[in-house]
Structure 1
Amino acid sequence: MSATASRRPSYAAALSVPHARRTFAAALLARLSYGVAPLAVMLAVTRATGSYTAAGVVMALFGATVVLLSPYRAALVDRHGPRRTLTPMALLHAGLLCTLAAASWRPGAPAAVLGALAAAAGACAPPLGPTMRVVWARLVGDGPLLHRAYSLDGVAEELLFVTGPLLVGAVIGVTSPAVGVLLGAALMAGGTLAFVTSPAVAVTGTEAGARGASGEGPDRVGRSLPRSLVPPVVVAAGTGLALGAVDLMVVAFAAQRHAGDAAVTWVLAALSAGSAVGGLVNGSVSWRLSERRRLPLLAAALGVTLIGAGAAPDTAVLAVAAACAGLFVAPALTTAYLIAHDCVPAEARTRAGAWVNTAVNAGSSTGAATAGLLVDRLPPGACFALAGCVALAAALAAGCLFSSPRRPFPFPFPSQGARKVSRRRGRP
């Protein structure tokens, strides 16, 4: 990959656009709930039921409804606009989290009740990340500044998932984990209400939805997924799958070398730090290669560095290797979101971003589950190699798909309204 020094506007230029700071801050406040609530729910359910199995099932239900229904919730946002859809979603999601906190406050809560509440809460989780990326496009346009804004968004999201667990740790140090669930609910409700009342959000999605509903302008994307959207979805899934397995593989690596839990936290922190640095650098240069060419290369670089990480002799070297692998994570995901943004019409961009988001989350969950099966049967080095091969396979698939003829895939792409017409054309 080659890049030239950039004369593009700075990150400050993206934030200096009218209403950008207020809107972005509100979105981040609400999205912080996604870094707080899952861990708090898991700890609250574990304490309430006294069963790790029950906690695992509850979290699986919560994660499944968050991930699998995300494109359909995003379709509602595209159709009716953020104000009409995100507000009831967020309030219902927060209300169900509060109910779950109340139910898990004392030991002895039925696991079935907690599971039902968690599944219902996940089903209502608003697609804040995809919506914010659509708002960024509204604020800064489709020029070079959008790349900068997406990179900033990706880095901030990475930091949210570091900050969230730290907040939960601080809360449970002084009170019940159920209070952490209440904190997640408060962040979601307060942040979303601040987000949807921003002037930048007022018109996002509603104009496109109105044109489609009245027949003025292009109809919405039909049930065929555009081929150009498949490569970013594949890379996002491969990236999520590889990274979802890394956490447990690092634990197994440290245990094999008797390094202790502190070493695990340093390695995972290095991975997140590398991703943040990579995201900032990615948005700071003018790339000569197009996004379609960069995406497979970024995924391949992630795969190669993960394979190399497995050969680390100790956790210190593994931390360095993890940081190197992280350099390609945020750039790969940011590029995937940019491609998704460009390959669909304006009235379907929230859905397109949600598909990439869904792929990352579904891949991460699958990777975590698969790693649990592998680490008991294979040495950590082999597990890292397999994770790297997954990223390489995603890169190869994306490269082949970009170079093949563009025909739509018969894959479910949620659409709204009665007319279904095929047409050419980003974590929740």
Structure 2
Amino acid sequence: MLAAYRACLNEPHVKYLFASNLLGRMPNGMAPLGIALFLRSHEVGFGRVGAITALFGLSTAVGGPMLGRAVDRWGQLWVLCVSAIASSLGFLLLVGRGEQGFGTAAAAVVVAGVFSPPLEPCLRTIWPAVLRDPGAISTAYALDASLQEVVFVTGPLLVVLIGSIAGSGPALVVTAVAMLLGSAAYVIPRPVRVWRAGPRQSDWAGALRSHVLRRLLVVLAGLGIGLGALNIVTVAYQEHIGRPGFSGVLLGANAVGALVGGLYYGARQWRTTGLRQLQYLLAGMTLSYLTLVAVPQPVLAVVLVFCAGLFLSPALACSFAVIGESALAGTATEAFAWMVTAVLAGNALGAAVTGSVEQHLGLHASFLVPGLAGAVAVTVTAAFLRTARQPAPPAVRAGGTKS
């Protein structure tokens, strides 16, 4: 089982690229909580705290495809360096002047979000230029999907730890420094510096000209809705059973499940097509979500969210592969950035809808939201399978050039 990972990680630059890229992506896990704690430390009301934190997420979702298109046109080196500097300045502006008013704080988080360096899509587009064995690309995708759980588990913990020692302001400064150091380290290897996307057709729609990508984004939005809903229903569930902090246990179990599932998925070779795999994985996740509607006892709830997590990272890795195979020439980075945007948008929508459902209809109904979102994603994927053909291999369609 470990042979596939050893073969992948023993390729030149792979370990370094993973480590530096994940360091640069730590703000994905640190920034939302860091922003909220900083604003609350300056007695900003919860309404404005929520609005500003949501604005950061929206800005990140909007900026990702634009920066991805810039990478496809001009390469990874300069786009990552410039965007990392601009985003870090946004965080520093928030720390230095953010408590002076809503407008200043909003402008700071917009800058920090819009210019958040597209490290995720950049890492996924570099693999065809680094990995000699095309089969190792799917292993790298699975490892990436699993390791990003580390970002969302350790990021908030780091914010709390730094905040308890030095304050919420320094926690945001560390967030900016991690972004700068990770981005700077990632662009050092030659494959990153010389990477260029293939020739592209000039068109305003860019990567969205691919009908495969457009349909897949609907599926990924459904997956994101489930994730956003889970963040809310776990809090509602802990209040229902009267166990403060139990939402963290549930979300942690989900993250551990995602880590385990992703590692297992990446260690095996699968004979079915990527879309067919995605349908099965989404169906398993949906079934786990729907079982929660019964509001089970805590131990069983932990097991069910763990099971849902088992399918999460494989579903993401499978989506990476489908996007890598279907991205139109010269648009791979933008295509991967659209994936991040779809999941983020779905996450925000899922949280908003679930909060309203919980308030007006109760816990049982709120547990339906992630299950229904998953069911829609499965249905779209099934319809997709009836009409779509699997595109060419990733090394032909999605990879950039080595020089």
User: TM-score with structure 1 length normalisation?
Assistant: 0.87
* 1:173 aligned to which of 153, 164, 171: 164
| Counterpart code for 1:177 | S
Q: CA deviation at 1:378?
A: 2.2
Aligned to 1:393: 376
Query: Deviations for 1:279-317, whole angstroms, at most 9, x for unmatched residues?
Result: 011111221211011112211211111000222422221
Deviates more, 1:394-403 or 1:153-162: 394-403
Aligned length: 389
The RMSD of aligned alpha carbons is 1.9
Counterparts of residues 222-237 of structure 1 (less than 5 Å): 223=205, 224-237=208-221
Counterparts of residues 47-86 of structure 1 (less than 5 Å): 47-86=41-80
CA distance in 1, matches of 2:352, 2:123: 30
Contact 2:4-2:268 within 8 A present in 1 as well: no
CA distance in 2, matches of 1:24, 1:231: 29
Q: CA deviation at 1:84?
A: 1.7
Contact 1:241-1:367 within 8 A present in 2 as well: yes
Q: CA deviation at 1:401?
A: 2.2
Aligned to 1:280: 263
Contact 1:34-1:184 within 8 A present in 2 as well: no
Question: What secondary structure sits across from 1:60 in the alignment?
Answer: helix
Question: What secondary structure sits across from 2:359 in the alignment?
Answer: coil
Question: What secondary structure sits across from 2:165 in the alignment?
Answer: coil
CA distance in 2, matches of 1:283, 1:363: 25
Distance 1:37 1:379, change over 3 A: same
Contact 1:23-1:200 within 8 A present in 2 as well: no
* 2:223 aligned to which of 226, 229, 239: 239
Query: Deviations for 1:387-406, whole angstroms, at most 9, x for unmatched residues?
Result: 21111111111221232267
CA distance in 1, matches of 2:187, 2:128: 16
Aligned to 1:336: 319
Q: CA deviation at 1:70?
A: 1.1
CA distance in 2, matches of 1:348, 1:195: 21
Question: What secondary structure sits across from 1:289 in the alignment?
Answer: coil
CA distance in 2, matches of 1:328, 1:121: 32
CA distance in 1, matches of 2:388, 2:155: 43
| Counterpart code for 1:168 | V
Contact 2:121-2:337 within 8 A present in 1 as well: yes
Contact 1:233-1:336 within 8 A present in 2 as well: no
Deviates more, 1:113-122 or 1:135-144: 135-144
Contact 2:238-2:245 within 8 A present in 1 as well: no
Aligned to 1:249: 233
Aligned to 1:91: 85
Aligned to 2:28: 34
Q: CA deviation at 1:63?
A: 1.1
CA distance in 2, matches of 1:251, 1:111: 28
Q: CA deviation at 1:385?
A: 2.2
Aligned to 2:151: 160
Contact 1:274-1:323 within 8 A present in 2 as well: yes
**Displaced runs of 4 or more, over 4 A:** none
Question: What secondary structure sits across from 1:310 in the alignment?
Answer: helix
2:210 equivalent to 1:219: no
CA distance in 2, matches of 1:222, 1:403: 29
Aligned to 2:392: none
Question: What secondary structure sits across from 2:308 in the alignment?
Answer: helix
Deviates more, 1:228-237 or 1:300-309: 228-237
CA distance in 2, matches of 1:261, 1:39: 18
CA distance in 1, matches of 2:54, 2:228: 14
2:182 equivalent to 1:199: no
Query: Deviations for 1:254-277, whole angstroms, at most 9, x for unmatched residues?
Result: 21122x223221111101111111
2:363 equivalent to 1:372: no
Query: Deviations for 1:230-268, whole angstroms, at most 9, x for unmatched residues?
Result: 33312211111011011211111121122x223221111
Deviates more, 1:41-50 or 1:181-190: 41-50
Aligned to 1:413: none
Q: CA deviation at 1:10?
A: 2.0
Contact 1:221-1:348 within 8 A present in 2 as well: no
Q: CA deviation at 1:141?
A: 4.8
Query: Deviations for 1:160-200, whole angstroms, at most 9, x for unmatched residues?
Result: 11000010010111222111110110001111011111222
Distance 1:226 1:346, change over 3 A: closer
Contact 2:88-2:179 within 8 A present in 1 as well: yes
CA distance in 2, matches of 1:99, 1:230: 36
2:107 equivalent to 1:116: yes
Contact 1:240-1:359 within 8 A present in 2 as well: yes
CA distance in 2, matches of 1:339, 1:220: 23
2:11 equivalent to 1:17: yes
Aligned to 1:126: 117
Question: What secondary structure sits across from 1:10 in the alignment?
Answer: helix
Query: Deviations for 1:37-96, whole angstroms, at most 9, x for unmatched residues?
Result: 221111112222431111111112211110022111100001000112110000111122
| Counterpart code for 2:193 | A
Question: What secondary structure sits across from 1:275 in the alignment?
Answer: helix
Deviates more, 1:262-271 or 1:181-190: 262-271
Question: What secondary structure sits across from 1:347 in the alignment?
Answer: coil
Gapped regions of structure 1 (runs ≥ 5): 1-5, 213-217, 407-423
Question: What secondary structure sits across from 2:296 in the alignment?
Answer: coil
Q: CA deviation at 1:346?
A: 4.8
Gapped regions of structure 2 (runs ≥ 5): 390-396, 399-403
**Identity over the aligned pairs, expressed in percent?**
30
2:246 equivalent to 1:266: no
| Counterpart code for 1:353 | F
Q: CA deviation at 1:9?
A: 4.4
